[in-house]
Structures are given as C-alpha cells and as structure tokens.
C-alpha cells in the first residue's frame, strides 16, 4: 500500500520522533533529581547507550517507549500497513535491548527498565510509586528492576 503522505512530509514526521530527551525520560530524570540523585546521560561507552547512568550506584535506567521496544501492553499495536517491515524493525530493537542489558549486567551494572505505560496511559502508575520503587532499588543491591503499567488486562 502506498504511503498517504508525501515523502518530504513523512520525513519531517519521522525526524520529529526523538531518541533522547523524550517526555517519559524527562519525567524520570526530574524524579531522580528531586530525590537527590545525580546522574549522567547517554554514555556512549556503555552498551546500548543507557538513558540515565548513576555511576555511584553502578546502575543504569532505561526508559523505553512501548511501541519502539515492542512491549506487550495497551500502548503497543503493530501498524496495519507494512507489517513485515515493522515486525522486523521492532524485533531488531528488542534483540538489541536484550543484548545491551546482558552486556551491562555482565559488566557489573544494575539495570532498571521503566516502560512508557508506567508513566502514561490508562495503566500508568502514580509518580510517587515510581519514585519510591526507583529509590528503593537504587539503595538496595537488586540487579534488575522493571516498572510497567499496572493494568493486567491488555485487551483493547
């Protein structure tokens, strides 16, 4: 099926999708900063170039968009056009994510993954719940943390 918008318009639309400093990422950064944590951003020397790096705690925080990282929640729906392309694209992203987390953990880093659905949408968690979970995780020695939306029924 042909695209319904002109190539220059599609290019402009796709250029507007950010990989850094997304709204969910800014929310998490603001929470951590307000709680007194200091961090570095997007360190290219680390596998997967994590969104937030807390060297003092040997911890990284990945803030993943549900669509781009193929999360199984109400915010993810495979596009109905060019499904093969999108299935392959998202599967590649998921495989890269898995490999980056594996390498980080093998290097002694602790990894927290916060999904977009935990921060927005019908299943979002309350900000204080997210902040408390992150702070508790940073202060203990658990190797991993995953925060996702609270809704267990993803039927849409």
Could you give the domains of the chain?
18-147 (3.40.960.10)
Return the DSSP state at 126.
P
End-to-end Cα distance, the chain: 25
Q: Give the relative orientation of helices 127-139 and 23-34 as an angle to the nearest 10 degrees.
A: 60
Residues 89-140: tens digit of each pLDDT: 999 999 999 999 999 999 999 999 999 999 998 889 999 999 999 999 999 9
pLDDT computed for residue 3 by the predictor: 66
Residues 38-97: tens digit of each pLDDT: 999 999 999 999 999 999 999 999 999 999 899 999 888 888 888 999 999 999 999 999
Residue 154 pLDDT exceeds 60? no
């Amino acid at each position: 099926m042909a695209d319904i918008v002109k190539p220059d318009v599609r290019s402009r639309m796709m250029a507007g999708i950010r990989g850094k400093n997304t709204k969910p990422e800014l929310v998490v950064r603001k929470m951590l900063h307000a709680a007194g944590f200091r961090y570095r951003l997007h360190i290219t020397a680390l596998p997967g170039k994590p969104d937030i790096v807390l060297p003092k705690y040997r911890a990284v925080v990945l803030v993943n968009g549900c669509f781009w990282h193929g999360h199984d929640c109400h915010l993810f729906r495979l596009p109905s056009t060019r499904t093969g392309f999108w299935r392959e694209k998202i599967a590649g992203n998921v495989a890269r994510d898995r490999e980056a987390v594996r390498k980080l953990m093998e290097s002694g880093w602790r990894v927290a993954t916060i999904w977009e659905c935990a921060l927005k949408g019908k299943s979002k968690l309350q900000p204080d719940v997210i902040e408390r979970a992150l702070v508790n995780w940073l202060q203990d020695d658990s190797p991993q943390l995953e925060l996702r939306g609270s809704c267990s029924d993803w039927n849409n």
